[in-house]
Chains A and B, each alone.
Chain A
Amino acid sequence: MKVKVLCRNPDDYVRETTRDIQRVPRNYDPTLHPFEVPREYTRALNATKLERVFAKPFVASLDGHRDGISCIAKHAKSLSTVLSGACDGEVKVWNLPRRECVRTIQAHEGFVRGICSRFCGTSFFTVGDDKTIKQWNMEPPGCGVQEEPINTILGKAVVTGIDHHQREATFATCGQTVDIYDEQRSSPIRSFSWGVDSFSCVRYNPVETELLASCASDRSVVLYDMRESTPLRKVVMKLRSNTLCWNPMEAYYFTCSNEDYNLYTYDMRHLKCPVTVHMDHVSAVLDVDYSPTGREFVSASFDKTIRIFPKDKGHSREVYHTKRMQHVICVRWSADNKYVLSGSDEMNIRLWKANASEKLGVLSSREKIAANYNKKLIEKFQHHPQVKRIARHRHLPRDVLKQKKQQREMKEAKRRKEQNVRKHSKPGSVPLVPEKEKHVVAVLE
C-alpha cells in the first residue's frame, strides 16, 4: 500500500548555524511587491546620502620630514612600506600600518629629486641635486653601523628623475639627457637626447617594459624605446608637462600632468591629439599616478588639492583637501588599489582612502551584499536630479572655489569672444577647434 506523505527538505528551512539568520521563504510575485521604482528610488536616495555622510577619506598623516616632500615611492613587494624623499636630501622609510618612520637616511645634499624601488624590493635608488645616483639596501644596517649606499654613481649633470625597469636590472634617469643604466655599470649603456633641454620626469611603461616616456622642459613629451638608439617621437604642447604615468593595464595609454591645470591622456599610437583632456584643477598639476587597476588615476596639484579622475572622463570624481595641506608635490596610488598617498610642501605625507566612503576592514557577507546593492542603486539612479546633486556635492576651500569660478568666467568670456569673431568674419575663416586639439602644438618625428 502506498502512503503519500508530505516531505520537506530540511535544507530549505534549517539554518546552518545558530548565528545565521532564519530562512524565510519568499514569494517573488510582482503583484505582491508593488511600486518597485519608487521604493528603489528612495533607497537609492538614502544610499547616496549615506555614501556622502560616510565619505571620510583621510586616514593618517605621516610627519617627520624637516622639509617639503619632493618624491614618494612605493615598495615593489610590500604594501606597508613607503619611501619618501624630502627637499633637504633626507630619505625616510615608513611603515604604514604603524604610521611611523622606520628609517632615516641623509641621502643627498640638496633635494632628493627622485626615488624608486627595485622590482624585487631588495633595494632602492635615489637621485639628488648633488649629481649622484645612489643605490641603498632596503634592509636597515645593523645597530651602530652607519648608513652607506651599496653603490654610488657620480654623474656629469644634475639628475632630476629616476625609474626602474619592471623586470630587468636596468634603470633610467633623466636630467640633461635620458640615460639608461645597467645596475652593474657606472656609465649609462644608452643615452638619449633630442634637442638641448632638460627633462623633469622619466617613466618606464610597466606593461610594454622596453618603452619609456619623459617630460622635457621644452614643453614636450618624448617617447623612447630602450632597444633603439634614437628616441621615437615627441609631442610639443602649449605648456610644459610636469610628470607622466603609464596605464599599468593598457599598454598604450599614458597621462601627463600639465602646467596649464589640465591632465592629458594620450594614446601613444596617435599623438596628434590627446584621447581625453581632464580638467578640474585650478592650478598647475604637479604629479599623477595610475591606480593599479588602470581604471582611475590620482593627480596632485599646486592648488593644494588631490583629485581622482576616471581614466576616460573629463572631470574628476573626487577631490581631497585639508586645511593644513599645502601644495601637493607628489602623489602615489597604493598597489592594492585601496589608498592614495600624497606628499606636500608642509612636510607631511598623507594617507587617503581611494574610495572615500568605503568601509575599511573585513566585511561580512551581508555587508558586502548591501554595499554592492547600494552602489548599484546609485549607479542606476545616477541621472535623477536629486541623486545626482547629492552624489556630486563636494566641499571646497574658498580659494579654490573662487578661482574655479573665475576660471569658468574667463573660459566663458573666451568662448563668447571666439563666437563673436566667428560671427563677424567670413564663414569658414575661423574654424571651430575642438578642446582636445587646442593643446598640442606639434608632433615631431
Chain B
Amino acid sequence: MSEHETQEKSTVVTSEMAVSAEKEFAMDNDVISASEDEEGSDDERKHNKLLQAISSLGGKRRKNQTERSEASLQVSEFFVSAEGAGDKVGLSDLLGTVEKTTGATKTKKQLRNLQNRNETLELPLNKEQTEKIQRSVAYEKSTKEVTNWQSVVIQNQKAEQLVFPLNQEPSGPKRVEQVVAGWKAETPLEQEIFRLLHMNKQPLHDPVLTPVEEASLMAMSLEEATIRRAELQKARALQSYYEAKAKREKKIKSKKYHRIQKKAKRKEFVKQFEERMKTDPTGALEELKKMEMSRMEERMSLKHQNSGKWAKSKAIMAKYDDSARKAMQEQLQINKDLTQKIATLSDDEHETPEESEMVPDFVNDVEPITDPVNPWMRSRIPQEEPEISCVTPDKPQTSEEEEERNEEEELLADFQRRRTLRRTEDDDLIPTAAEEQIVNTCEVSREEVVGDGTVEISDSEEEEEEDVSQFNTLFKLMSSEKTHEGPAPTQDQQEDEEQLDEGQLRVRSMEDLEVLEEVSDPRPGTPAAPSMPQPTASDPLAKRSKREIDLSEVLTKEAKTIKVALTPTVVEDEEREEQISIIKEAFAGDDVISDFLIDKRKQEEAGRPKVVDLTLPGWGEWGGVGVKPSQHKRKRFRKKMAPPPSRQDQKLPDVIISEKRNSSIATHQVSHLPFPFQNATQFESCIRTPVGQTWNTQTAVKKMTMPKVVTTAGAIIEPLVKEDYIKDKSTKPMGKGPAILLNDKRGAKDGKPSDKHKGRDSHKRRRNKP
C-alpha cells in the first residue's frame, strides 16, 4: 500500500512540474506530450507535428493546451533507473532555464523551495515484504473474526444435550403477531377489546407482564443490594469474631480463671435473681422452676457422686493426699448443693443444659441381651442402617441458589438473635450457655454425625468425646490412605487404552464374546497395581466391616454398672423377639464360635512366616546315612523371614478379613484410576450410583440416561449460521414497526414492545436465497 502511495505522490510531483513547465514554455515542436502511447500510431504523431508547425507559423505565441498524463503507469519499475544509470539528474538541470525567464514567480518560488528541500522520498518496500505484511494483517483480522465463535463452541461442548438440527422452529400454536405482520384491529369488537386492554395497561405483546409487575420485578435496586451486602459482610465478620472469641475462651485451661469466672457469674446471677424477685415475681418463679428441674436432674444423674473414673482414682489417692480429699469433698458439696431443696440458690445455673445432656443415650436403649450359649445373640441385631442414598449428580441450579440464599438468611437471623442476646445478657445469664452452645454447634454436630454409628457406653463425656475424636482420626487416616494410593495413570497409558483392540477374530455371537473374554489376556504392558484398592462392590463391604471394628472395640469395654435405679426401658419389640428366637433355633446345636475361632487361627497360621532351613547336608562336613548336620550349621542356615505386616483383623475377635487378591474377581476390577477422575472415592461414587429403572424413578432415569447428542433420521443438519449466533454490533436496528398496529394513541410506550420484536426477529434465521 505504501508503495502505491509513494508512487502516486511521485507521479503527482512530476506531472505538476511538467504541467507548469509546459504552461510557460511549451512551444517547441520537440515537446512531445507524455500522454502519447508508446505504440502510438505514426499518423497521429505526424498529425500532431503538423498542427504544432502550423501553430508556430502564427506570429503570436499561443499557449498550448497539453494534456495531463500519468507517465508512470507505463513505466516498468525495473527500467526506471536503467537508462540513466550513471548520472543523476538534478532538479536544477531540468529547470535551468526557468531562472532566466520572467513571470511565473509563483512557480519559481515553489521550485526553489523544492530545490532547497533536500529530502528524498523513501524507497517503497519490495513486493514480497508488502505481501507479507498484507497477509499477516489479513490473518489477524480473520482470526479475530473467528474467535467470536469461541463462546458458542464452548457452550455447545458443555451442553448436556444437543438436539440436532439446531434452531428448530418450535412446533405448536403460534401467536398471531408471529404469523401475521401488520395486522390491524379493524372490527369494532377488536378495537373495543384493545381499547379496554390499553386503558387497563394490560400487556398486549410477548412479555406478558403489566407495568406494575415489571416494576415489582425491578424493585430490588442496586442501593438496596449494596446495603444488604454490607450487612451480610458485617454479620459474617462478627460471626467469625464471635467464633474466634469463643474458641479462645474455651481453650483457656487455667482452673483458677474458670473458678473465678464461675464465681462471678454465680454472684451476679444471685443478685439478679433477688432483684427480679422484687420486680418480676412470675419470672423469678420460672427461674425457680428451672432450678428445681436442674435439681431433679442432678439427683437422677451420677455426676458429682464420686463414682466416675476420676473420682475413683481420687478415692485411692485420698488416703495420702489432702488435695484429692478436698476435691472429692468439693464434688460431694456440689452435689449436695444441687440437690438441696431450698429456694436460695448457690449452684451454677449455667451448667444445667450440659447436665441435661448427662443422661446418656443408652439409658433409653434396649438392654443388651447376653446369651452365653448362643454367640449370635452377643452382637446386636442388625438395625437398619440408613443406606447411603444415591447421589444425584446434577441438582438444578436454582435449588443451589436457594440454598445460598437460605444460608444468608440464616446467617442474618443468627446475627440478629445474637445481638438480642447480647442486649439481654445483663438481665439473663442462662442464654450465655446457650450462646456457647450455638457457637459450638457446628463442631458438636459434626461429631454427632460421625459418631452416629457407634454406640458408646462410657462414664464421662470427656471420654466419649475422646473416643469420637479417636474414631475420627482413624477414619480420616483410612480415607486419606485411600486417596493417596493409586497413582494417576499417565497420558500415555490413557492413549493406549483408547485404541481399538484390533485382531483377526471375528465376533458373531455372544458365545464368541465369551471366548474373546477368555482368550485375550490383559495387555502385558500394563502391570497390575496391587496397591490400588479395588473400587468395586467388595470395597464398601470392607469399609463397613472396618467401621464395625471400632464399634465392637468400644462394646468390649466394661459397661459401667449403674447403681441408681433407672426407669427400665426395655422395649418389647415382638418382631425382634421373633428374630432372636429364630436365630436361636437355627443355630441351637452347633458351636459356631469355636469353629470360627479355629478357622481364624488357621488363617493366621498360614499367613505367618515360616522358618526356612537351608542347610545342605554334606557340605563342609561328613555326610551320609544317619549323619545329621551339626547343630551349629543348622542354626546358621535357618532363615527367619521378616514378619508380614500385621493382619487387618488382628484386633477384631469376630472377623476374618482375607487379604489375598482374588484373581477371579480381579479380572473384572479396574486396576488403576481412569483418567478424568481425581481419586478413587470419586470413581467409586460414580460407579455406585445406579442409573437403572430398578433403583430410580422414571424421570430420574430419563434424565440420567439422556444421550449427549440427539439426531433425527431424515433431518438435514446444516452448519451453524453466523447471523443466528454472532450479533454484529455494526448492524443498525431495523426500522420495523410492531407487528400489530393499533390506531389508538399509544404514544411513548410504542418503543418497548417493538424493540422486543426486533430481538426476536433477529433470532429468526435469515437465509439468502439465490
Considering the chains assembled together, what is the distance between the CA atoms of A108 and B193 in angstroms? 69
Task: Answer yes or no: B134 CB below 8 A from chain A CBs.
Answer: yes
- Known contacts A230-B131, A376-B691, A384-B668; decide if A208 and B136 are in contact (CB<8 Å): no
Contact residues in B for A229 (Cβ distance below 8 Å) = 134
Decide: B143 and A269 in contact? CB cutoff 8 A. Answer: yes
Chain A 149-169 interface 0/1 with B at a Cβ cutoff of 8 Å (1 = within): 000000000000000001111
Task: Answer yes or no: A207 CB below 8 A from chain B CBs.
Answer: yes
Contact residues in B for A293 (Cβ distance below 8 Å) = 162, 164, 709, 711, 717
Q: For residue B671, which residue of chain A has the nearest CB? A: A385
Contact residues in B for A445 (Cβ distance below 8 Å) = 132, 135-136, 139
Q: Which one of B390, B507, B713 lies within 8 Å of A30 (CB-CB)?
A: B390
Contact residues in B for A36 (Cβ distance below 8 Å) = 688, 690, 692, 694-695
Contact residues in A for B497 (Cβ distance below 8 Å) = 388
Q: Which one of A248, A250, A396 lies within 8 Å of B504 (CB-CB)?
A: A396
Considering the chains assembled together, what is the distance between the CA atoms of A41 and B692 in angstroms? 11
A410-443: which residues lie under 8 A (CB-CB) from chain B? none
Nearest CB of A to B717, in Å = 4
Decide: A31 and B384 in contact? CB cutoff 8 A. Answer: yes
Decide: B147 and A28 in contact? CB cutoff 8 A. Answer: no
Decide: B697 and A53 in contact? CB cutoff 8 A. Answer: no
B117-135: which residues lie under 8 A (CB-CB) from chain A? 131-132, 134-135
Decide: B502 and A396 in contact? CB cutoff 8 A. Answer: yes
A263-316: which residues lie under 8 A (CB-CB) from chain B? 268-269, 280, 292-293, 295, 313-316
Q: Which one of B135, B149, B693, B769 lies within 8 Å of A208 (CB-CB)?
A: B149
Q: Which one of A167, A381, A385, A396 lies within 8 Å of B522 (CB-CB)?
A: A385
B692-737: which residues lie under 8 A (CB-CB) from chain A? 692-697, 701-702, 704-707, 709, 711-720, 722
**Chain B: interface secondary structure?**
loop
Decide: A337 and B149 in contact? CB cutoff 8 A. Answer: no
Q: For residue A250, which residue of chain B has the nearest CB? A: B153
Decide: A28 and B503 in contact? CB cutoff 8 A. Answer: no
Interface range, B side: 35 or more
Nearest CB of B to A153, in Å = 18
Q: Which one of A41, A50, A380, A392 lies within 8 Å of B499 (CB-CB)?
A: A392
Q: Which one of A168, A206, A207, A394 lies within 8 Å of B500 (CB-CB)?
A: A394
Q: For residue B717, which residue of chain A has the nearest CB? A: A292
Decide: B495 and A208 in contact? CB cutoff 8 A. Answer: no
Nearest CB of B to A25, in Å = 12
Q: Which one of B139, B164, B770 lies within 8 Å of A233 (CB-CB)?
A: B139
- Known contacts A209-B722, A335-B717, A445-B136; decide if A269 and B500 are in contact (CB<8 Å): no
Listed stretches B401-409, B513-521, B643-651; interface member: B513-521
Residue in A41, A43, A248, A251 whose Cβ sees the most chain B Cβ within 10 Å = A251
- Known contacts A293-B164, A319-B502, A336-B713; decide if A206 and B719 are in contact (CB<8 Å): yes
Decide: B687 and A37 in contact? CB cutoff 8 A. Answer: yes
Residue in A38, A250, A268, A319 whose Cβ sees the most chain B Cβ within 10 Å = A250
Nearest CB of B to A110, in Å = 31
Q: Which one of B499, B522, B691, B696 lies within 8 Å of A315 (CB-CB)?
A: B499
Decide: A167 and B768 in contact? CB cutoff 8 A. Answer: yes
- Known contacts A230-B134, A385-B522; decide if A295 and B505 are in contact (CB<8 Å): no
Decide: A390 and B517 in contact? CB cutoff 8 A. Answer: yes
Considering the chains assembled together, what is the distance between the CA atoms of A172 and B745 in angstroms? 55
Q: Which one of B509, B694, B707 lies within 8 Å of A375 (CB-CB)?
A: B707
Contact residues in B for A380 (Cβ distance below 8 Å) = 686-687, 691
- Known contacts A208-B149, A445-B136; decide if A369 and B719 are in contact (CB<8 Å): no
Considering the chains assembled together, what is the distance between the CA atoms of A372 and B513 in angstroms? 22
Residue in A35, A318, A319, A337 whose Cβ sees the most chain B Cβ within 10 Å = A337
Decide: B537 and A37 in contact? CB cutoff 8 A. Answer: yes
Decide: A268 and B507 in contact? CB cutoff 8 A. Answer: no
Decide: B770 and A40 in contact? CB cutoff 8 A. Answer: no
- Known contacts A30-B695, A389-B501; decide if A335 and B668 are in contact (CB<8 Å): no
Q: For residue A268, which residue of chain B has the nearest CB? A: B146
Decide: A390 and B516 in contact? CB cutoff 8 A. Answer: yes
Considering the chains assembled together, what is the distance between the CA atoms of A376 and B161 in angstroms? 14
Decide: A395 and B143 in contact? CB cutoff 8 A. Answer: no
Residue in B142, B537, B668, B671 whose Cβ sees the most chain A Cβ within 10 Å = B142
Nearest CB of A to B712, in Å = 7
Q: For residue A42, which residue of chain B has the nearest CB? A: B668
Nearest CB of B to A40, in Å = 6
Task: Answer yes or no: B138 CB below 8 A from chain A CBs.
Answer: yes
Task: Answer yes or no: A373 CB below 8 A from chain B CBs.
Answer: yes
Task: Answer yes or no: A249 CB below 8 A from chain B CBs.
Answer: yes
Q: Which one of B146, B691, B694, B715 lies within 8 Å of A269 (CB-CB)?
A: B146
Contact residues in B for A118 (Cβ distance below 8 Å) = 770
Task: Answer yes or no: A252 CB below 8 A from chain B CBs.
Answer: yes
Nearest CB of A to B64, in Å = 41
Task: Answer yes or no: A131 CB below 8 A from chain B CBs.
Answer: no
Considering the chains assembled together, what is the distance between the CA atoms of A122 and B508 in angstroms? 44
Decide: B686 and A268 in contact? CB cutoff 8 A. Answer: no
Contact residues in A for B768 (Cβ distance below 8 Å) = 167-168
Decide: A269 and B717 in contact? CB cutoff 8 A. Answer: no
Task: Answer yes or no: B670 CB below 8 A from chain A CBs.
Answer: yes
Q: How many residues of A contact B (CB 8 A)?
A: 88
Decide: A404 and B767 in contact? CB cutoff 8 A. Answer: no
Task: Answer yes or no: A77 CB below 8 A from chain B CBs.
Answer: yes
Q: For residue A38, which residue of chain B has the nearest CB? A: B537
- Known contacts A37-B536, A372-B706; decide if A383 and B670 are in contact (CB<8 Å): yes
Contact residues in B for A22 (Cβ distance below 8 Å) = none
Q: Which one of B520, B713, B720 lies within 8 Å of A338 (CB-CB)?
A: B713
- Known contacts A207-B720, A251-B720, A293-B164; decide if A386 and B668 are in contact (CB<8 Å): yes
Task: Answer yes or no: A223 CB below 8 A from chain B CBs.
Answer: yes
Contact residues in B for A228 (Cβ distance below 8 Å) = 134, 138, 141-142
Task: Answer yes or no: B145 CB below 8 A from chain A CBs.
Answer: yes
Considering the chains assembled together, what is the distance between the CA atoms of A49 and B509 in angstroms? 8
Considering the chains assembled together, what is the distance between the CA atoms of A153 and B180 in angstroms? 45
Task: Answer yes or no: A102 CB below 8 A from chain B CBs.
Answer: no
A174-214: which residues lie under 8 A (CB-CB) from chain B? 206-211
Contact residues in B for A66 (Cβ distance below 8 Å) = none
Contact residues in B for A252 (Cβ distance below 8 Å) = 146-147, 149, 153
Q: For residue A80, which residue of chain B has the nearest CB? A: B714
Considering the chains assembled together, what is the distance between the CA atoms of A268 and B520 in angstroms? 42
Nearest CB of B to A296, in Å = 9
Task: Answer yes or no: B156 CB below 8 A from chain A CBs.
Answer: yes
- Known contacts A232-B142, A292-B718, A293-B164; decide if A37 and B688 are in contact (CB<8 Å): yes
Decide: A393 and B503 in contact? CB cutoff 8 A. Answer: yes
Q: Which one of B141, B505, B536, B720 lies within 8 Å of A248 (CB-CB)?
A: B720
Q: For residue B162, which residue of chain A has the nearest CB? A: A293
Nearest CB of B to A387, in Å = 9
Task: Answer yes or no: A15 CB below 8 A from chain B CBs.
Answer: no
Decide: A79 and B714 in contact? CB cutoff 8 A. Answer: yes
Task: Answer yes or no: B498 CB below 8 A from chain A CBs.
Answer: yes
Decide: B149 and A230 in contact? CB cutoff 8 A. Answer: no
Contact residues in A for B384 (Cβ distance below 8 Å) = 31
Task: Answer yes or no: B451 CB below 8 A from chain A CBs.
Answer: no
Contact residues in A for B499 (Cβ distance below 8 Å) = 280, 315, 392
* Residues of chain A whose beta carbon lies under 8 Å from any beta carbon of chain B: 28, 30-31, 33, 35-41, 43, 49-50, 52-53, 77, 79, 118-120, 122, 166-169, 206-211, 223, 225, 228-233, 248-252, 268-269, 280, 292-293, 295, 313-319, 335-338, 360, 369, 372-373, 375-377, 380-381, 383-386, 388-390, 392-396, 398, 400-401, 404, 445
Known contacts A207-B149, A390-B513; can you find 4 more A-B pairs with CB under 8 A? A336-B715, A372-B706, A373-B701, A383-B670
* Residues of chain B whose beta carbon lies under 8 Å from any beta carbon of chain A: 131-132, 134-136, 138-139, 141-143, 145-147, 149, 153, 156, 162, 164, 384, 387, 389-390, 495, 497-510, 513, 516-517, 520, 522, 536-537, 667-671, 674, 683, 686-688, 690-697, 701-702, 704-707, 709, 711-720, 722, 767-770
A-B contact pairs, 12 of them (CB 8 A): A36-B692, A37-B536, A37-B690, A79-B716, A248-B720, A249-B153, A249-B719, A292-B716, A315-B495, A315-B498, A376-B691, A396-B503
